[in-house]
Amino acid sequence: MREKEMANILDQVLLRITPDDAERRAMEIIANVLTERINGFAGEYGVHGMLVGSAARDTWVSGEHDIDLFILFPESTERERLEAVGLLIAGSVLDDAERIEERYAEHPYLHGVVNGYGVDVVPCFNIREGSRIKSAVDRTPHHNTFVREQIVGCEGDVRLTKQFLKRAGIYGSELKIHGFSGYLAELLIIYFKSFTNLVRDAVDWRPGKVIDIREHGTRGHENSLVVVDPTDHRRNVAAALSLDNMCRFIDSARSFLEDPKIEFFFKVHQPPPESIETRELLHKRGSMLIGIRFQKPDVVDDILYPQLEKTERSTKKLFNIHDFRIANISSIVSEKNVYIICELFDKELPVVKQHIGPPVWARADAERFKAKYQKKETLSHTHIKDGRYVVDLKRRHTTPTSLLQEELPRYGLGKDVKATIKKQKFQIISEEELLTTSDHKVQNFIHQLLTHKNL
Amino acid sequence: MREKEMANILDQVLLRITPDDAERRAMEIIANVLTERINGFAGEYGVHGMLVGSAARDTWVSGEHDIDLFILFPESTERERLEAVGLLIAGSVLDDAERIEERYAEHPYLHGVVNGYGVDVVPCFNIREGSRIKSAVDRTPHHNTFVREQIVGCEGDVRLTKQFLKRAGIYGSELKIHGFSGYLAELLIIYFKSFTNLVRDAVDWRPGKVIDIREHGTRGHENSLVVVDPTDHRRNVAAALSLDNMCRFIDSARSFLEDPKIEFFFKVHQPPPESIETRELLHKRGSMLIGIRFQKPDVVDDILYPQLEKTERSTKKLFNIHDFRIANISSIVSEKNVYIICELFDKELPVVKQHIGPPVWARADAERFKAKYQKKETLSHTHIKDGRYVVDLKRRHTTPTSLLQEELPRYGLGKDVKATIKKQKFQIISEEELLTTSDHKVQNFIHQLLTHKNL
């Protein structure tokens, strides 16, 4: 019964996410044309083109229009020459693209939009499998070859997996997401053979779980999930996956098996929360909101997001040290601004704080401590508690606003965030401003921060 | 210079604390009369009387009028007979006392007031030194013999030590004080020869300090200070001393040596704090006061005080578990009532609290947790944080009053405190009531709780 119900649901999902013949043919035509353009440089530079990624493996989800093309240079090519000639060829390939951007992985590549398809053209060294790679992207052609061989017949299950991960908000290995990459989804299906096998296994995963398709053995990877790269056993394909996102996958797998529903793959349309709802919710909770806003530094996401995480960590640490207790903290990037938004349990702290000193028997420290606070204005005499000196002092910051304003800029915030704050300052956003923001993205974000509703 | 100054001060102190000839003679006369009364029973019961304690060793401080008399029974006496005959003899010795009370150590003894002297008459077994004692008080005659032999010439230094300890509030080994007993003060002087030697050594004490006069070796005593009983190496004479009181002694010793003053021995008269001062101080601190009051259970101090400590510990634990942060907590016993008084950093907490569940990978626990909170009214969806489930719940107690009222009676409070509370209930005393109390003892106590002023 449950089996049939599940199969039925997966069929419905597949109907919606499998590209039809027309969509597939359109993709093929463009991919072929572009690959041929690379091969046109074979004589001159010894290169050849390779279509990689989900388009090459028929594992893309209908509606995704991404084409990844690699320019394979002979291994002996010098790095500088690869970079220069690579850009030259890529430019020629994307000759008729609508927009072209130069982007950077380990070396520069081009991104362009051709007929509505996002196309990456990436130069790499053509390294024999198992040899040491010369740049991070050199593994990709081997991934491509491996998956193309192994995945035949399971493409639909890869699509189901990707869609399931997307819905759970954990698809993508970029530093903004810390989730599952497309290649990781493919390897999981190669190993488990089907989406249902995968989720049935995942319900019992725990941190330290190892999946080793070619039985390479692991070399002390210390991530939550270890999926040994079949083309390079030194690499953990799941290295970017965070503990919490692994847990979210385990949790979603259990929920899906318990009660299989199409909602595990597609959002149900919900009206966005009204600002008044958030206000009432906050009132009910009795906590307070406070935000920091600063201009979005002009850097790519993979540079920006780690810095935002660092800024969040510093904000947490600052509140902790100063005795403010945090309920929730998270950040959101709008078109021009970054917001760090905190929900705090403590709106205000009393002036008095207890300052714990050295143990009484640590004589030199003890004497320094006593001498220091004999001269200062304190709120109590120095006294002894659990073998240590204690003195009550006046707290400098009794509100989170004063604390953030004065102390946050001194903390580690990441290079570009720090520079932005130094140049442009940052604003403390009051609860009232946050609740009345006209930016719907920020509004929804605050609602989500408080409710943890799976949107 | 410092030497001379110090000697000068100690001389001044000695002048005030050494009993003069008249005081000493008066004490001797009474002690002799009472001891003779015990010896009058020698023929009938084979007992003899022994004057013990500071009166016997000339180590009492002028103005103290305590006489400790022991009735030594032959070792072979049966316990029941010792108790019955002991009380009979003691009653006869205290025949002309103003008041008589039966008190209890390991067995009953009598306390009476004779000519203004507080007299204890205690029966014990006359055990050979080094043999196993039959009751806790059997060591006392041996202590007496040892100290009388060794202390000659150092009596003044014992008086100085006792007076110094009294002033610091750490004299007395009873469970109300957790300080230094008179016998401990005597042993310290026997070991260090003088008060100045003692304080000069104490400045470098640390927990685990061992003093072993007869070089018995220690048998793994685990107290902060170990002073091996020269008459019974199995016993640590400093076992009752708390870590904080040991630290207070170290601290006072350092302060005294740095700036010797008569104030280390005698209180300077200070007008008691006005209620308005305490109110202003509290306002400045921004914290809040709350108290519990209940009828003083009708038990002796050594029974009562450990129960009050337990009640304080439970109150601390209760506040901790429920997220109220405590600045200070202490208890005071007035004639009829007990007060537990707390200073809190948090006056009120928000309704929302975070409830941390099991790790996601602990499947059985995880499923129970999720199922439980799916059915309950919560303030957020169950979500994942650091690998664990978390859900926001409504806090039951947002004020300390409601918390204490409902939860404290369920906690461990000690037998008699619990019984009193069960019978008579307890009252929560508001900050305003505490600040306007007419009981000066309680008023001073609150001021001391906030300031930690060494009164």
Q: What average pLDDT score do residues A28-48 get?
A: 95
- A-chain residues near B247 (CB < 8 A): 359-361, 384, 387
Q: How far apart are CA A452 and CA B380, in angstroms?
A: 6
With CB atoms and an 8 Å threshold, state whether B387 touches A244: yes
Q: What average pLDDT score do residues B258-267 get?
A: 95
pLDDT for res B221 = 74
pLDDT for res B272 = 85
Nearest CA in chain A to B350: A286
Q: What average pLDDT score do residues A386-404 get?
A: 97
- A-interface mutation test, from B247, B284, B349, most A Cβ less than 10 A away: B247
- The answer for residues whose C-beta is within 8 angstroms of residue B77's C-beta and 6 or more apart is B46, B85, B125
Torsion of CA B164, B167, B172, B173, to 10 degrees: -80
Give residue A455's pLDDT band: very low, low, confident or very high (50, 70, 90): low
**Residue B243 near residue B413 (C-beta atoms within 8 A):** no
pLDDT in tens, B22-49: 999 999 999 999 999 999 999 999 999 9
* Encoded amino acid at B333, one letter: V
CB-count exposure of residue A400 (10 Å: 0-12, 13-18, 19+): buried
- B-chain residues near A247 (CB < 8 A): 359-361, 384, 387
pLDDT for res A221 = 74
Tell me if residue A176 falls in helix, strand or coil. coil
Give residue A55's pLDDT band: very low, low, confident or very high (50, 70, 90): very high
pLDDT in tens, B44-56: 999 999 999 999 9
With CB atoms and an 8 Å threshold, state whether A361 touches B207: yes
pLDDT for res B1 = 62
- The answer for residues whose C-beta is within 8 angstroms of residue B341's C-beta and 6 or more apart is B289, B290, B291, B329, B330, B331, B332, B434, B445, B446, B449
Q: How far apart are CA A111 and CA A179, in angstroms?
A: 23
DSSP string of A331-343?
EEE-SSEEEEEEE
**Residue B409 near residue B421 (C-beta atoms within 8 A):** yes
Closest chain B C-alpha to A347 CA, distance in angstroms = 9
CB-count exposure of residue A171 (10 Å: 0-12, 13-18, 19+): buried
Q: What average pLDDT score do residues A44-50 get?
A: 95
pLDDT for res B216 = 80
The H or E element containing residue B104 is strand B100-104
Q: How far apart are CA B321 and CA B36, in angstroms?
A: 60
- A-interface mutation test, from B342, B374, B452, most A Cβ less than 10 A away: B452
pLDDT for res A124 = 95
Tell me if residue B65 falls in helix, strand or coil. coil
> Mean pLDDT, chain A, as a whole number?
94
- Tokens 């639909």 locate to A156
Q: How far apart are CA A26 and CA A114, in angstroms?
A: 12
Q: What average pLDDT score do residues B392-406 get?
A: 96
Give residue A203's pLDDT band: very low, low, confident or very high (50, 70, 90): very high
Nearest CA in chain A to B448: A380
With CB atoms and an 8 Å threshold, state whether B361 touches A398: no
More confident: A228 or B3: A228
Distance of CA A55 to the CA centre of its chain: 23
Residue ranges in A286-414 assigned as alpha helix (H):
301-321, 363-375, 400-407
Q: How far apart are CA A323 and CA A340, in angstroms?
A: 19
With CB atoms and an 8 Å threshold, state whether B450 touches A380: yes
Q: What average pLDDT score do residues B424-436 get?
A: 93
**Residue B316 near residue A380 (C-beta atoms within 8 A):** no
Task: Classify the phi-psi angles of A226: left when phi > 0, otherwise alpha if psi is within -120 to 50, otherwise beta.
Answer: beta
DSSP state of B270: -
A183-196 as b/e: b if 16+ CB within 10 A: bbbbbbbbbbeebb
**Residue B90 near residue B110 (C-beta atoms within 8 A):** yes
Q: What average pLDDT score do residues B129-144 get?
A: 89
pLDDT for res B453 = 87
Beta strands B100-104; A337-344: pairing state: unpaired
Q: What average pLDDT score do residues A109-137 get?
A: 91
The H or E element containing residue A388 is strand A388-394
Token digits for A367? Answer: 């004497």
Ranking A217-221, B318-322, B444-448 by mean pLDDT, the lowest is A217-221
With CB atoms and an 8 Å threshold, state whether A387 touches B285: no
Closest chain A C-alpha to B206 CA, distance in angstroms = 5
Which of B244, B346, B454 faces A385 most closely, judged by CB atoms?
A: B244
pLDDT of residue B455 exceeding 70, the answer is no
Q: How far apart are CA A54 and CA A165, in angstroms?
A: 15
* Encoded amino acid at B24, one letter: R
Which of B281, B325, B381 faces A451 most closely, judged by CB atoms?
A: B381
With CB atoms and an 8 Å threshold, state whether B351 touches A386: no
Closest chain A C-alpha to B197 CA, distance in angstroms = 18
Q: What average pLDDT score do residues A252-270 get?
A: 94
Sheet of strand A117-126, all strands in order from the earlier edge strand to the far edge: A48-52, A66-74, A117-126, A108-114, A100-104
> Mean pLDDT, chain B, as a whole number?
94
Beta-ladder partners of A328: A343
Ranking A271-285, A367-381, A383-397, B97-111 by mean pLDDT, the lowest is B97-111
Closest chain A C-alpha to B247 CA, distance in angstroms = 6
CB-count exposure of residue B358 (10 Å: 0-12, 13-18, 19+): middle
- A-chain residues near B360 (CB < 8 A): 247, 250-251
Token digits for A66? Answer: 């991404």
Query: Angle B113-B118-B122 (CA atoms, 0-180°, nearest 5)?
Result: 100
Is the pTM higher than 0.90? The answer reads yes
Between the CA of residue A210 and those of A250, B107, B195, what are the distances in Å? 15, 69, 69
Distance of CA A436 to the CA centre of its chain: 28
Sheet of strand B427-429, all strands in order from the earlier edge strand to the far edge: B326-333, B337-344, B288-295, B427-429
Closest chain A C-alpha to B185 CA, distance in angstroms = 20
pLDDT for res A106 = 79
- A-chain residues near B385 (CB < 8 A): 244
pLDDT in tens, A262-314: 999 999 888 888 889 999 999 999 999 999 999 999 998 999 999 999 999 99
Q: How far apart are CA A193 and CA B92, in angstroms?
A: 99
Between A and B, how many CB-CB pairs are < 8 A? Answer: 123
Give residue B90's pLDDT band: very low, low, confident or very high (50, 70, 90): very high
pLDDT in tens, B297-323: 999 899 999 999 999 999 999 999 999
Nearest CA in chain B to A209: B361
Closest chain A C-alpha to B104 CA, distance in angstroms = 32
